[in-house]
Amino acid sequence: MTTDTATTDTAPADPATRPVTASPGSRRPSPRRRFLRHVLLCAVGVVMMYPLLWMISSSLKPSNTVFTDESLWPSTWDLGNYARGWTSLAEPFSLYLVNSLVIVTLSILGNLLSCSLAAYAFARLRFRGRTVFFALMLGTMMLPGHVLVVPQYVLFDRLGWLNTYYPLLVPHFLATNGFYIFLMVQFMRSLPDELDDAARIDGCGPFRTFWKIIMPLCLPAFATTAIFTFIAVWNEFFGPLLYLTDPDLYTVPLALRQFMDSEGQSQWGEMFAMSFVSLAPVIGFFIAGQKYLVKGIATTGLR
Amino acid sequence: MTTVRARRQDNAGYLFLLPWFAGILFTVGPFLASLYLAFTDYDLLTAPRWAGLDNFRAMLHDDKLHQSLQVTIVYTVISVPLSLAVALGVAMLLDRGVRGLAIYRSIYYLPSLLGGSVAIVMLWRYIFGYQGIVNHFLAWFGIQGPGWNSDPRFALSTLILLHVWTFGAPMVIFLAGLRQIPAMYYEAAAMDGASPWRQFRSITVPLLSPIIFFNLIQSLIASFQTFTQGYVISNGTGGPAESTLFYNLYLYQKGFAEFDMGYASSMAWLLLIIIAGFTAINFLAARYWVFYDN
């Protein structure tokens, strides 16, 4: 799938003509139709962005004008929402941010390590049972997570892991997410076999080959994995809801939810301010890692 | 010599897979355990007691369960095709050498990264609230809208709209697929006088059908497992009047509020069977519309 795109992308000499020839619109639409298309696309864009813009705008308004001041540009500004929101929950918001950051960082590390090890075995080593294990791995990819929830909870309870980060972290270190393995397998298979042969002739064992030759070449696949893990873990709600009861351990989504319990006090401005703070890292990662994201979902269908 | 090396490779392979083997304990193990628990009565404190088909019999008379199934199926059956249709439509608009493609794509794609977050679902509560911006907008036309989230008739539709709002992920996949359809197919069809609709029906859909199918299956499975949206929009209750009581939300209430873990496990298996059923139907139907080139 990717190789096809690559060849059509590089075929024409002049890059400016590429989008036209590569797409069905070789009968170029008339200027009027092109203009109408842009109007339509912009309208869709406005609808898509409006909720986010409204959130940001509301985070800058005094709480009592959030629902009366219709303009996106606040008529009165209240930057204090951010300061007050930061301290209005049981713990300062920075604690929740740090908690989330710790979990996200370790999850990324765990996924990269464990999934790349498994992927290397599947992609480049021969051993008995490989096809069976690979099929099993694909099978676990399809397994809907909800079936595992109850026994996993029981297991973590038995291990004494409730109200700790272990249930959220340990699975990431054990390559339980087949999607990332699959992504890396696909990537590693695209590397030439001669690399391993040359390394072996030079006296490298599988571990040195993996660490010195394959790992550095897999950086794009690692970047994709890291970004997807970041976004998935940062947003994750169900796991923390299930396993974390002590407010000191809360992640950002759990903390945000508390705003709904104190709804009566109508601290909307503060709520939207912290909501925006919670989304900002995702938006930042999106802007920084767009290339890998788009590539990643186009090749594996990850969301 | 070769056997020695083969054995060495064997060992290396297993060594590399060591974390993954351990991980099976957390995936395949619980999978089998949940099948067992589905036939037991279990409250986490005392040992599971074999209950045969009791849980499944109780499910027959559980009105809340039926409601949650209905909510989940209605949500899935409407939101999945709707968002895929929007994704395909927008992808086709974007495909024809649009200037600023990268910007449009980013704007449309970003919401799909945020749609499952607590912040956005909370935002949805207020956008569609009685005083929310949707009603402000309707007021310009003299319409007084209801509190969309607090009215059982509309609460689920706001979440369907939220799902459609995240059409960006399948759109990016469609865009990649559209790129691979050779332009000459369209040129030839146009020369033969095929209308744009005809071209869409006879070129785009068949050539894109494997990708549409893939997206359909993926969205279907994910949509059946919706949890956060229902939980956050109703603050955990599934209300108003159980109109956002998603299946997994009810499973959560049963398993982790009432600690009826046997029942929750049998619910999980019922959903698994339903998902498998829907997937199987789609695979059967695929024979009639999914076209594989090779």
Q: Which burial class, exposed, middle or buried, applies to A7 when counting CB atoms under 10 A from its CB (0-12, 13-18, 19+)? A: exposed
Lookup: tokens for A180: 């990332």
Q: Which of residues 45-74 of A touch B (CB under 8 A)?
A: 45, 48-52, 54-55, 58, 66-67, 70
Q: Does A284 touch chain B (CB under 8 A)?
A: no
Residue B113 has pLDDT above 70, yes or no: yes
* Distance between B288 CA and the closest CA of chain A, angstroms: 23
CA pair distance A256, B165, nearest whole angstrom: 21
Contact call for B26 and A171, based on CB within 8 A = yes
pLDDT of residue A11: 36
The H or E element that residue A282 is part of is helix A268-300
CB distance B16–A155 less than 8 Å? no
**Tokens encoding A246:** 């002590």
| Residue A45 domain flag | no
Q: How far apart, in whole angstroms, are the C-alpha atoms of residue A184 and residue A218?
A: 8
pLDDT higher than threshold 70 for residue A43: yes
Residues in B closer than 8 angstroms to A20, CB to CB, are 97
Closest CA to A271 of A58, A72, A96: A58
A127 in a structural domain: yes
**Residue B77 clears pLDDT 90, i.e. is over it:** yes
Q: What is the percentage of chain B residues whose pLDDT exceeds 90? A: 71
Q: Is residue A101 part of a domain?
A: yes
At A266, list the tokens.
């109508």
Identify which of A144, A243, A148, A239 has the alpha carbon closest to the alpha carbon of residue B38: A148
Q: Please state, rounded to an integer, the average pLDDT across all residues of chain A.
A: 85
pLDDT band at A69 (very low <50, low <70, confident <90, very high): confident
**What's the confidence (pLDDT) of residue A25?**
45
What does the block give as tokens for A221? 């696949």
For residue B2, what pLDDT is reported?
Answer: 54
Euclidean distance between CA atoms A186 and B251, whole angstroms:
36
Confidence of residue B123 (pLDDT cuts 50, 70, 90): very high
CATH of segment(s) B57-289: 1.10.3720.10
At B173, which helix (H) or strand (E)? helix B168-179
d(CA A111, CA A172): 5
> 3-class DSSP state for residue A198?
helix
What does the pLDDT average to over A46-55? Answer: 94
Write the DSSP assignment of B216-246 as a string of letters: HHHHHHHHHT--HHHHHHTTTS--STTTT--
pLDDT value at A22 more than 90: no
Considering Cα of B149, then B155, then B158, then B163, what sign does the dihedral take?
positive
pLDDT of residue B109: 93
For position A199, which CATH number holds? 1.10.3720.10
The pLDDT-based confidence of A259 (bands split at 50, 70, 90) is: confident
Predicted confidence at residue B5, as pLDDT, reads 64
* Residue A100 resides in a domain: yes
Cα A32 to chain centroid, rounded: 39
How many angstroms away from the CA of B153 is the closest CA of chain A?
22
Question: Rounded to two decimals, what is the model's pTM?
Answer: 0.89
- Cβ distance A119 to B2 under 8 Å? no
- Chain A residues within 8 A of B101 when measuring between CB atoms: 19
Residues of chain A by 3-state class (helix, strand, coil), percent to 5: 75, 0, 25
Q: Amino acid identity, residue B280? A: A
Residue B8 clears pLDDT 60, i.e. is over it: yes
Residue B172 burial by Cβ neighbours in a 10 Å radius (0-12, 13-18, 19+) = buried
Tell me whether residues A45 and B107 touch, CB distance under 8 A. yes
User: Is A81 within a domain?
Assistant: no
Q: Which helix (H) or strand (E) holds A185?
A: helix A178-189
Tell whether B294 lies on the interface with A, counting CB pairs under 8 A.
Answer: no
Q: Domain for residue A46, yes or no?
A: no
Taking an 8 Å cut-off on Cβ atoms, the answer to whether A268 and B126 are in contact is yes
pLDDT band at A88 (very low <50, low <70, confident <90, very high): confident
* The pLDDT of residue A230 is above 80: yes
**CA nearest B223: which of B63, B35, B75?**
B75
Answer whether A22 touches B (CB < 8 Å).
yes
Q: What confidence tens digit (pLDDT) does each residue in B132-188 have?
A: 888 888 888 988 888 898 899 999 999 999 999 999 999 999 998 998 889 899 999
**B251–A149: do the CB atoms touch at under 8 Å?**
yes
b/e per residue B14-27 (b: at least 16 CB within 10 A): bebbebbebbbebb
What does the buried/exposed string (b/e) look like for A196-206 if buried means 16 or more CB atoms within 10 Å of the residue's CB?
A: beebeeeebeb
Statement: residue A4 has pLDDT above 90: no
Contact between B158 and B110 (Cβ < 8 Å): no
Q: How many domains is chain A partitioned into structurally?
A: 1
Closest CA to A279 of B177, B110, B137: B110
> What does the pLDDT read at residue A300?
61
The per-residue pLDDT for range A263-286, each reduced to its tens digit, is 555 788 899 999 999 999 999 988
Query: How much is the ipTM here?
Result: 0.90
Domain that holds residue A161: 93-300
* Chain B residues with CB-CB distance to A66 below 8 A: 126
* Portion of chain A with pLDDT greater than 70, in percent: 86
- Residue ranges per structural domain of chain B: 57-289
Q: Is residue A231 part of a domain?
A: yes
The reply to whether A280 touches chain B by the CB within 8 Å rule is no
Interchain CB distance below 8 Å, B265 and A235: no
- Residue A8 confidence (pLDDT): 35
Residue of A nearest to B269 (CA): A147
* Whether A150 and B261 lie within 8 Å, measured CB to CB: yes
Q: Is the pLDDT score of A89 beyond 60?
A: yes
CA–CA separation, A116 and A83 (whole Å)? 42
Distance from CA of A164 to the nearest CA of B (A): 17
Distance set, CA A73 to CA A53, A60, A66, B132 (Å): 10, 9, 11, 17
Crossing angle of the two packed helices A252-261 and A268-300, in degrees rounded to 10? 140
Nearest Cα neighbor of B147 from B125, B124, B130 is: B130
Q: Which residues of chain A from 153 to 182 reach within 8 Å of chain B, CB to CB?
A: 153-155, 157, 170-171, 173-176, 181
Asked if the structure places residue A23 within a domain, the reply is no
Report how far residue A293's alpha carbon sits from residue A296's, in angstroms, rounded to the nearest whole number: 5
Band of the pLDDT at A298, cuts 50, 70, 90? low
